[in-house]
Amino acid sequence: MVVMVFILFTVLTLKSCIVRAQSSHSASDVSISIRVKAWEDSVKKLKPKKTTVYLGGEISLAFPQYSLKSRIGALQGLRVNYIGTNLGGVMGNAIGKLKANVGLYYSEPSVPYAMEMFQGAIAGTLYILRIKKVKHHSFEPYVMLGLAHQQTKFYGNYLPHIDNGVVPPTNYSVSEQPLIGKAGFIQMNTGVGVEYQLESCNATFIHLFAEIGYGVLISSNASNASFSGTRLSNPTTLSLGIHFGIVK
C-alpha cells in the first residue's frame, strides 16, 4: 500500500514538473518571438525605400529665336527664327530629371539669309509640386536650368568683299548660298515647362512635355574677322516633345 502511494506521488510530481517546464518553455518562445519581431520591424525602418528611376530617350521639336548684334550691317538687329529637332537621353526620379540632347535647326523662310545651327545641351529639371512632398499628378509643372553650346553657319552674299556690299533680298537654299562664316555661342538656359505623365504596368513610361526657355549668353567666338563680335540677344526656345523609356 505504501509502495503504491509512493508511486502515485512520484507520477504526479513528475507530471507537474513537465507541465511547468512546458509552460516555461512556451513563455520563453513567446518572449523570443516578440523580440525577433521587434528587431525585424527596426530593420524594415532602417532599410531605405526603393527609389523609382527613369531611364530613356527624348525626341522633340524646337523653335529657337533670337536677335543678332553684329558689325555686319545685314545682320545687325536681325531677328532670326529657327525650326529643328532634338534627340537625346534622359535620367530621372520622382523629383526631377537630367537630360542631354543634340539638335539641328534651320532658319525659317521669313529670315532673309540662310542659317544653320547645331546645338548640344544639358539641363536639369525640378518638379515644382513635389518639392515638399512626392505626390504624383497627371500634369507636372517644372523649372529648368542648363547649359548649351551652339554652332551657327551663315550663308549668303552680303559681305562687302563678296558682292561689293549688295544685299540680296531673298532667302535661298543652303546649297545655293556660299558659306561665309561661322560663330559659336555658349549660353546658360533657364525655363519652365509642364509634363503630362503616362505610365504603363509594363515598367515603361511616356511623358509628353512643353517648355519655354530663355538663354543668357556667356561667351562667343567666330571663324573669321568679319563675324568677330557677332552675338545673339534675347534667345528664347519653345520645345514640344516626348520622353520615353523604362522604369527601374
77-130: per-residue pLDDT in tens?
999 999 999 999 999 998 999 999 999 999 999 999 999 999 999 999 999 999
- The pLDDT value recorded for residue 136 is 81
Using one digit for the tens of pLDDT, what is the confidence trace for 135-181? 888 899 999 999 999 999 999 988 865 444 444 454 544 457 899 99
Q: What are the φ/ψ torsions at residue 44 (nearest 5 degrees)?
A: -60, -40
- The pLDDT value recorded for residue 3 is 43
Percent of the chain exceeding pLDDT 70 equals 72
- The pLDDT value recorded for residue 25 is 47
- The pLDDT value recorded for residue 181 is 94
Q: What is the CA radius of gyration of the chain?
A: 36
Using one digit for the tens of pLDDT, what is the confidence trace for 220-236? 999 999 999 999 999 99
Which positions ≥6 away from 95 have C-beta within 8 Å? Answer: 126, 127, 130, 131, 134
**Distances from the Cα of 4 to the Cα of 1, 9, 13, angstroms:** 5, 9, 14
Which neighbouring-strand residues pair with 69?
Answer: 231
Q: How much is the mean pLDDT over the chain?
A: 82
The domain limits of the chain are 1-47, 54-247
Q: What is the mean pLDDT of residues 28-45?
A: 52
CA 122 to chain centre: 9
- More confident of the two residues 124 and 22: 124
Q: Could you tell me the fold of the domain covering 54-247? A: Porin (2.40.160)
CA dihedral 61, 66, 72, 76 (to 10 degrees): 140
| pLDDT band at 48; cut points 50, 70, 90 | very low
pTM attached to this predicted model: 0.72
Are the C-beta atoms of residues 131 and 100 closer than 8 Å to each other?
no
| pLDDT band at 12; cut points 50, 70, 90 | very low
- Sign of the CA dihedral running 54, 87, 109, 184: positive
